[in-house]
Amino acid sequence: MLKKRVALFGGAFDPVHNGHVQVASVVATDFIDEVWFVPVFKHPWAEKYGKEVLAAYEHRVAMLRMVLGENQQIAEYLDVSFTYPTLKYFSQKFPDFEFSWIMGSEYISRFDAFLEGHPKLSDFTFYMYPRKGYPLENLYPFMVGLHDMDEVTVSSTEIRDAVKNGDSIAEYVPQAIAEYIDKHQLYKQ
């Protein structure tokens, strides 16, 4: 019996943006059976990457619900969101599924640190999407580069900064997300 193939897409999604939507759509359409968004509950590198203050988990989940496409859902992992423990958790919880991970190309150059902490990450497939300024080069054997996909040029940090500055975010997020951010006064300070 063939296992259902599920790619976990972990991230803060603070907020979810058009790049996230594009990546999930490409992977769910061309590579696997389903994409499960796994929003960070507790960020493992909060201080290192300036993620000490995230929008409330409930807001980030609500925004993700608004953008779910075909063969996509939200999967909750209510612990510190390290990649390997998350993959292990879902693999044990759903043994009839085959899990992989979606990650941006900005992580390729520092993936040695991931493997140093969790060498068994190489047991999983990683779908690497292209981020502006981070070419899909020097991929590990267990990585699949999404070379034919448009490069993701927006970041959640840019969106939060734009909101804080009173600038439009219409080109970066679906309209429903922009309206949600405005309604709940997210990222204003």
pLDDT tens track for 151-184: 999 999 999 999 999 999 999 999 999 999 999 9
Q: Is residue 170 part of a domain?
A: no
pLDDT of residue 45: 58
Q: What SS3 state is found at 74?
A: strand
**pLDDT classification of 42: cutoffs 50, 70, 90:** confident
Q: Is residue 161 part of a domain?
A: no
Q: How much is the mean pLDDT over the chain? A: 93
Residue 20 has pLDDT above 70, yes or no: yes
Residue 81 has pLDDT above 90, yes or no: no
**Exposed e or buried b for every residue in 84-117, given b needs 16+ CB within 10 A?**
bebbbbbbeeeeeebbbbbbbbbbbeebeebeee
Residue 142 has pLDDT above 60, yes or no: yes
Q: Is residue 148 part of a domain?
A: yes
Q: Is residue 185 part of a domain?
A: no
Q: Is residue 25 part of a domain?
A: yes
The predicted model gives 16-33 an average pLDDT of 96
Q: Is residue 59 part of a domain?
A: yes
Residue 80 is given by DSSP the state B
Cβ count within 10 A of residue 133: 9
pLDDT of residue 113: 87
Amino acid at 150: D
Q: Is residue 189 part of a domain?
A: no
Question: Which pTM value belongs to this model?
Answer: 0.93
Q: Is residue 123 part of a domain?
A: yes
| Tokens 């709940």, residue located | 184
pLDDT of residue 49: 55
- HSE (side-chain half, CA atoms, 13 Å) at 81: 22
Measured CA to CA, the distance from residue 57 to residue 125 in angstroms comes to: 27
Cβ count within 10 A of residue 48: 9
Any bridge partners for residue 42, and if so which? Answer: 80
Overall domain count for the chain = 1
| Tokens 């999604």, residue located | 13
pLDDT of residue 101: 98
Supply the range of the domain harboring residue 118.
4-154
* CATH assignment of the domain containing 95: 3.40.50.620
